[in-house]
Structure 1
Amino acid sequence: MQTKPLHFKVKPYEKLTRDELYELLQLRAEVFVVEQDCVYQDVDGKDDLALHVLGYKDNVLVAYTRIFPPGSYFEYASIGRVVVRASERQHKYGYDLMNVSIEAVETAYKTTTIKISAQTYLKSFYNRLGFKEVGEGYLEDGIPHIGMIRTA
C-alpha cells in the first residue's frame, strides 16, 4: 500500500487560525509532554516569532515544526519542535517534514545555514538530512540533546 503524502502549510503565527493553533499545541503536548513523559513549559512565548510548518493527512495534523530566522533563537536560522504523531511515524513523514522546513527556512530567511537542538537518539536521522554535530551533548528538560548545523 502506498503511503499517502502529507499536505503542508507554512504560516506565520498571526496567520494561524484558532483551530490550527489548538491542533499544533495539542500535538506538541501529546508527544513532548505525555509520550516523552517530560514536564516542561512548551508554551514558551516564542511561537509568535516563528513560522509554523503544519503537515496534514486527511485534514488531521500529524507533523509539525516551527522555524526561526537567524538571531531570534540561535545565531543561525533554526528548526525546532520537530514532531510526528506516533501513529504516523512508520511512514517516515519526518523526512518530508524536515525537507519542507529546510526549504521554508531557505525561502523565508534566504539562508542555507540551519542550527537545531536535536534529541541525541535522533542524531542519525538528522545526519541523513545533512546536519552535523557541533559541541558537546547536554541535557535539555532532562533529555540528552546535541547541537547540530546544516549548511548547503
Structure 2
Amino acid sequence: MSTVPVVRDLKSHIERAAAHKATGERLLELDDEWFAVAFFYSAYHAVKAAMHADPIFDDMKACAAIDGSLTIESRFAEHHSGGFGKGGRTLGVNEIVFKLYKTIRVPYTRLHGASIAVRYGAGLDVISPVTVKDDFEAVCAEYAAGRIVAP
C-alpha cells in the first residue's frame, strides 16, 4: 500500500496543474532546467483532469473496445506506466494517453522524457528548452479546448 496521497477529483487536478505551471514559469525565468519537471507535472494533472471528465470511463464496453486492459477504474491511473495489479494488467497514464489522446501523444511523451532527463539523466543537455515549452503549451491548448477526450 502506498503512503503517497492520491488525487482523485477534478478540482484538485486542476489546482495542481495550475500550481505546477506557476512553478515552471518561475523556474523558466530563472533559466533553471527544473522548469521541465514542473511543466510535465502540470501537463500530467491536466491529463488526469481530462481523464476524470472523459465520458469513455463511464462506459465499460467502450473502454474494452479500445483495449482489454482499459477499464472504468483506469480513469484513476496513478503511475506513468502500468503493470500487473490485483485485477491483472493495468494501464499507466502514458499508455492511456497513447491509446486515447492522439492529439497530445507526442508532446506529452516528450515532456515526460524531458522530466526524466532532468531528474535522472544529463538534464536538458540535448533537449531544447523551447521544445519543452512548446510541448507544454500544446498539451495545455488541447486541454483548454476540451480536446483531450477519447474519440
Greater fraction of residues in strand: 1
**TM-score scaled to structure 2, two decimals?**
0.29
For normalisation by structure 1, the TM-score amounts to 0.29
